[in-house]
Structure 1
């Protein structure tokens, strides 16, 4: 009697190629980004996982940087993910201006081409001031620090005199914080101007460390928060890839939802502004 042995089935090169293609397309079209800092609060919280539409503005060769097709234009109010050319760090910020725009900041007012961004004061407390801003159909909250406010009010009116003594405490304060309350920027061709919603806890286009962001450096547009995923902590180390707590599922980020508004205004010390 003849026994026929079954041949072992190995994964073929075509199977590997197909799997690689599927993964590459998925990685090139959609991704998520972990929020490590407070620079976009209250819109985005630390530990949020933001779903990113990677082909919103351009279609790239899978796993490469080469752009093969342009899609939508980057718009003011979009939340974008981009890679810093120098440090290669990944940032997430809100677009305030596109090429050719003139951006001005006058204390808590932000103007684009001479027109103030629509803004409504919501509340104020001993620590911060919160506004609801709107760019087009995108609505969001921004906050400013009262500590910087008080220091800037006292020194900015006498800026020239204060800066004549660069070693003074006031001069050092202005040198550090002036861009957070005043300035004028003209966005060059092929670039965008970005800011964090947490205006005094964000390194963005107001500062030389980031400056104007090249459009080709933008990796995608944030779509929504998949969930807030608290990372596993081992000692003083956070393991972001291992979440242990989940909340804020499927959260909208281009409008101010009632839950976010309630979280911002629930402190007893805060005075709501109607």
Structure 2
């Protein structure tokens, strides 16, 4: 067995080192994340592969969530990727409330620290409405269901230290704070600001060329 291992190492040393470096880079620095659901529509759609910057918040021990050095904290409006213990899944959501904020939701209109956010309708199709939400200086699109939804309201809550309140941009179709509660700081993996590539799941996985390298930190189709 030892002879086989030595022979494999000798014959494939360059490839094995390359693979080790690649996996380490993806674990600690940057990776992409497939998006299988529509909870972030219209910003992110099913079939998007988004780029995840894993160094924006922390320098971590590769292949772990252990932070060696905190570089920054998530900001309101950031699209974050996190390993949710509450849901048992890796999720992609938008930061709405940071530690110390008071957040409420009334008929799908946010109230942050006593301020009612501004909204502008940009599209209305069938049973949904797309609105431009001004998240205290960060503008982005959200999608609202015209039918009544139990997710369209929640009482004002205070965001505790080292936790974040996150929502999906597809407000009536997202398992977010209203389902899983606050997100602990240590669960957050990184931030995304762009799509790498996109495949159309409903059309034989044909690439959506128009979404390749599309920015996520500015509203689209306005």
Where on the TM-score scale, by shorter chain, does this alignment land: which range?
A: 0.7 to 0.9
Distance verdict in 2 for CA 1:124–1:59, change over 3 Å: same
User: 2:212 maps to what in 1?
Assistant: 249
User: 2:158 maps to what in 1?
Assistant: 186
Distance 1:22 1:257 in 2: 32
Q: Deviations over 1:176-214 (max 9, x none)?
A: x1x42242221111100000011000011022xx10000
User: 1:229 maps to what in 2?
Assistant: 199
Distance verdict in 2 for CA 1:132–1:21, change over 3 Å: same
Distance apart, 1:14 and its partner CA: 9.5
Give yes or no for contact 1:231–1:245 (8 Å, CA) kept in 2.
no
Matched, 1:140 2:102: no
Give ranges in structure 1 of 5+ residues lacking alignment. Answer: 1-8, 150-176, 262-274
User: After TM superposition, which residue ranges in structure 1, 4 or more long, deviate above 3 angstroms?
Assistant: 11-19, 123-126, 230-233
Larger Rg: 1
- Cα RMSD after superposing both structures: 2.7
User: 1:202 maps to what in 2?
Assistant: 174
3-state SS of the aligned residue for 1:180?
Answer: coil
Q: Deviations over 1:146-171 (max 9, x none)?
A: 1116xxxxxxxxxxxxxxxxxxxxxx
Q: Deviations over 1:25-82 (max 9, x none)?
A: 3431001111111110000010000000011111101112211010121100000001
Distance 1:250 1:134 in 2: 24
Give yes or no for contact 1:180–1:206 (8 Å, CA) kept in 2.
no
Distance verdict in 2 for CA 1:61–1:180, change over 3 Å: same
- Report 1:13-92 matches (<5 A): 16=16, 20-21=20-21, 23-92=23-92
Distance verdict in 2 for CA 1:116–1:211, change over 3 Å: same
**Alignment size in residue pairs:** 214
User: 1:213 maps to what in 2?
Assistant: 183
TM-score (norm 1): 0.70
3-state SS of the aligned residue for 1:56?
Answer: coil
TM-score (norm 2): 0.85
Distance apart, 1:104 and its partner CA: 0.8
Distance 1:196 1:203 in 2: 8
